[in-house]
Structure formats: C-alpha cells, structure tokens
Structure 1
Amino acid sequence: MRVGYHTITWGGVVGDPVGVTSVKDLYYRVNGPMDRAIAEIASLGYEGIEMFDGNVADFAGRPQELVSLLESAGVQLVGVYTGGNFIYDEILPEELSRVTRAAELASRFGASSLVVGGGARRASGTRGEDYKRLAAALDKVNDIAQAHGLEACYHPHLSTIVESPEELDLLMPITRIGFCPDTAHLAAGGGNPAELIRRYPDRVRHVHLKDARLSPLEFLPLGAGEVDFVAVLDALVETGYDGWLIVELDSYDGDPREAAAQSKTYLDRLLATIGPAVTHPTNGDAP
C-alpha cells in the first residue's frame, strides 16, 4: 500500500455552472491552484495525488504543464474522481461521454484508478428500479475504465442513494464495478468502515481515508474525528489490499497544507505499526 492525498481542499469543490444547461460538461472542480496543491502535497512526503475530472480537464490542451508539475514534485497522479446521476435514461449518454473523457485524461496522465460517485435521489423519492439503473450505468463505467487501462471503483457518498450499509448491499451484488470505501462517508451513513471492507474484500480497488465528527457532521484531519483507523487498516491488511490509500478532507476552513500535515503525521504513526505492507516515506519538509 502507498499513500497519497486529494487536492480537494486547495480551494474547495465546485461544479461547473455550464452543467446546468449542458450535462456533458458538468465536471467536478477544485476552485484553487493545482500547482500549489501538488507541490505542497509532495512536500509532506505523500507519493501520489488524486484530482477531480474538471481539474485534469483543465490541462487537456496543455498536457506537458501537468506532467511537469508532477515530475517536478516527484509525485504521480493516482486517480481521477468523476460522477453522475446515473439513473435517468435520457441524460445517461451525456454523463457517460463525460466519464469517457475523464478516463481518457486519467489514462493519458498515468493514473490507475477512475473513482466514481453518484446515484441521484429523486425529489419524489427513490424508486426500487433506481438501484438497477445505477448498477447498469456503473457496469458501463467499468467497461469504459477497462478500455482505458484503469480500475473503476464506486464511492458511496452522502446525498446519493448509496449512503447506508443497507443501500450499499442493494447495489454491490448487481454491479461489476469495484468498491472505494470512504471511511468518513461510510461512518456518516451509519456503517462501520472496517466491517464493510471485510464484507466486500474482493471488490476494494481504491481507498479514501477520511475522518469526521459525526454529529453534527464535520470533516476533519485524520485522528481528529471518530473514525477507527486502526480497525480500518487491520481490515485492509487482513483482506490483502495492496493498492493506494488516498487521504482526503472534503472541506476545511484552515490552511490545507497544515491539515494534510496533521493527517500525514497521524497516519505515519499508525503505518509504522503495520510494517512492510505499507510504504510511508517521510520528507525533510514535513513536520
């Protein structure tokens, strides 16, 4: 296992306004400087980064700029995060077009994972067939990812139709896509992250390590919230997971580098107890 960090807190996540009238262009985006994010993440000793599809798309016309930023920092692009409603037949081709674009760019810049969230909650309430629609769409996403040499994984997320363990259990048996457990979202949805990792050991393709206080919900650096990361890491080692651990913080009011450093210090202490299953290099600039 290797450790990376998501660029989300360097500006906070937004959606493209053009998506209100053009679904195919509705990318996620961090509204902040990616050059600073990449450099600061690398300075703390993280080996990789994850970015949103919109931020990677910003470099589509100037690819060497992103390549140079990654090479200069000494980190690699690990994953690209995208998403969609995935339950509405009429707009699904538009959403899959955007997913395909994200996969093309992820592959071009050397990523290994396509991380996908989604499954809209209808204003009128979730219908039973919505899980079948979501599963079928995710199978198409999985095929798109494989065609571009990527591993696709589904990220359960608050505000979607897959928040709780019961909802996850409705989806996973009817789709082929991998599983990206996000520790904070699973806990906030009423689940035990370690138990859910053990429930789907052969489906875990990518991991988001995230902490939170659950009531009222507040996302926090690792070690500052309620998630039991000792249990999570034990479950990952027990199931033989050997992929990336991506530390993430959905929102943060303070300095994003300080939050990333706090998480790195906490995680390094835990990883030191595991041994060779996890690589956790340090950096002279890290606190």
Structure 2
Amino acid sequence: MQVRLGCGQITWRGTGSEEAVLTDIAQAGYEGAPMSARGGRTARDIKELYESHNLVPAPGYFSGSFWDESKRDEHVESARRVASISAELGLTEIYVADGGFKEPTRSGRTRWEVAAHPSPEDSLSDEDFARLAVGLDAVGRATLEFGVRSCFHNHVGTFVETEAEIERLLASVDPDVLFLGPDTGHLAWGGVDVVEFTRRHAERIKTMHLKDIVESVSQKGKAAGWDYSTFEKNAIWTEIGEGSIDFAEVLRILDGAGFEGWLIVETDVTQLPTPLESAVVSRQALRTLGV
C-alpha cells in the first residue's frame, strides 16, 4: 500500500520528554507522529522539532463538546487555527472527535462510567444530537477553508460511540464536509464490526487510527459493567496483530478504495515492558501485511 505510517504518542503517557518519545517513534520505524499546536506552537516550531528527530508531522487531533451551542464560535475559531497550521505543514486531514466523557447524561451517569455499554438514556437528546451535527458541520466547513478535511474520530466514552450513534451522525452531516478518521480499536470495543464498517465507508475514510483490542476483555467488562478505566486496567488494549481485529482485510479494503493517506498506530496502554517495544511489535506486524 502507498500510505504514510505514523505512531501516536499516547503509549508514552507520563514516561518521558517529548524529545525522547519522538526518538523512540523514529527508532521503531515510523515516518511520522501526530502534530500538536498546543502551547502556541507555530508550524515552523513543529516542523523543526520533528525534523530534528527524522520525522514528519502527521494529522493532529481536535475535540470539543460540539453539541454545546454556546461554544460553537470558540470551536470554529480553534478549528481554523489548527487547520491553518496543518495546511502550513502540508497536511490535508485532521481528526475531529466529540467529547462528553465526564458529562452527566439523562440517566445521571457519565459515558465514562458506561463505556462500551451505554443505555438509550445515556445518549444525547434528539435536540442535542441535532446541535452536535450542526457544530461538526461548522467545524468541517471552517477547516475546508484551508484545504484541510475534518475527519470524524469515534471514541468509546463519548456521545458518538455506538454503531447507531456513528451512523446517525454520518447521515446527518454532508459527506463532502465531514469525512472519516475512524479508530479501529474504539470501533471494535464499541461493538462495531470493523471490517464491515470499513467496507461501508471506505470512500469517506481519509485517515485512520490503527488500534487493536482483546475481545475477551471487552466482553467480560461489558457484562460486568466496568467503567473506562477498569477496561484499561484489565488490558483491553494490545499491539497490532495481537488482538481480534482483521487488519489484513481492513487494509485490503482501503487499498481497493484507493486510500493513500496517513495511518496512525496506537496502543493506548501497553502490557509490554516499554512503549518502544510496543511500537516495534506493531510496526513489524504491519510490515508482514505490506505496510
């Protein structure tokens, strides 16, 4: 496949400096890592930092409570800033994710508490869901001003997690305004068939997070009613090729659809001794699949 392969920094949370993390990512054999414009960084700052580690910036991540009308102008302006920096870096996509992890729902619980097993009462109201779609439409149009496509990124623990919620959102926003940057691990954990989802939406997918899960942990946690943290403590995440997701078929479908974008490898919490070892295992697995 003619794709660009990056590695997300999340596996290194709390383990060292940004420079050390980028050094590991390059050593593991990746071309790039997601960029971040936090802290007032300019495109030049980001480019110089990554070049000093023999990496290039990959698509970054932007999230917000897009159903909240009072924050819409703030979201749009933030999206414009990130899109402007992305465009300067030669990036044409950005991941855009909904929030809501710790927001109380109509049930009185948070989506964090009911991760991967929400009830209908844990969802947004119809009115708030409509506002969510309008908010994401506004963000998508703002980033397109800079030639950057907003790619919706699903995430367990948010208000767009289940297959029904994801499909409802995708049907609610113009596909020429809001594209897809799905996360395979969060799809599977949320109960979505990753292969079928990829096949159904291959033309809309412009970038993707590659993440694997342990299905037995997922099923056990759903039955026991675990919260998000408990799933992670019980090792829901694993390296590419070590879990339940059929990456060979996912990549075959993307290749058949002419996909040429960024793929970002992530293992949110590794059980291996170091994040570097985790990144290497996933990189080697993808090499066997022709990436």
User: 1:124-163: per-residue Cα shift (whole Å, max 9, x none)?
Assistant: 2420123221211111111121112212100011111221
TM-score (norm 2): 0.79
Of 220-229 and 258-267, deviating more is 220-229
The residue type equivalent to 1:11 in the other structure is R
1:269 aligns to 2:288 (yes or no): yes
Aligned to 1:25: none
Q: 1:165 aligns with which of 159, 163, 166?
A: 163
- Distance change >3 Å, CA 261–CA 239, structure 1 → 2: same
Query: Does structure 1 residue 198 correspond to structure 2 residue 199?
Result: yes
Superposition TM-score, scaled by structure 1 size: 0.80
Among 82, 92, 97, the alignment partner of 2:77 is 97
Q: Which position in structure 2 is the counterpart of 1:210?
A: 211
Structure 1 residue 59, shift from structure 2 partner: 5.7
Give the RMSD, CA atoms, in angstroms.
2.1
* 1:184-195 pair list within 5 angstroms: 184-195=185-196
Which position in structure 2 is the counterpart of 1:255? 274
Letter of the 1:168 partner, please give it. I
Gap runs ≥5 in structure 1: 13-30, 272-279, 281-287
Match 1:244 to one of 262, 265, 273 = 262
Deviates more, 1:251-260 or 1:82-91: 251-260
Q: Which amino acid aligns with 2:66?
A: F
> By percentage of residues, which structure has more helix?
2
Q: Which residue of 2 aligns with 1:112?
A: 92
Q: Distance in 2 between matches of 1:32 and 1:135?
A: 38
Q: What's the % identity of the aligned pairs? A: 32
- Higher strand residue share: 1
Q: Deviations over 1:67-115 (max 9, x none)?
A: 2232233321120101011111112222333323322332333333210
Structure 2 segments unaligned to the other structure (5+ residues): 107-121, 222-230
Whichever residue aligns with residue 198 of structure 1, its letter is: R
Q: Is the 8 A contact 1:119 1:134 kept in 2?
A: no
User: Which residue identity lines up with residue 8 of structure 1 in the other structure?
Assistant: I
SS for the counterpart of 2:57 is strand
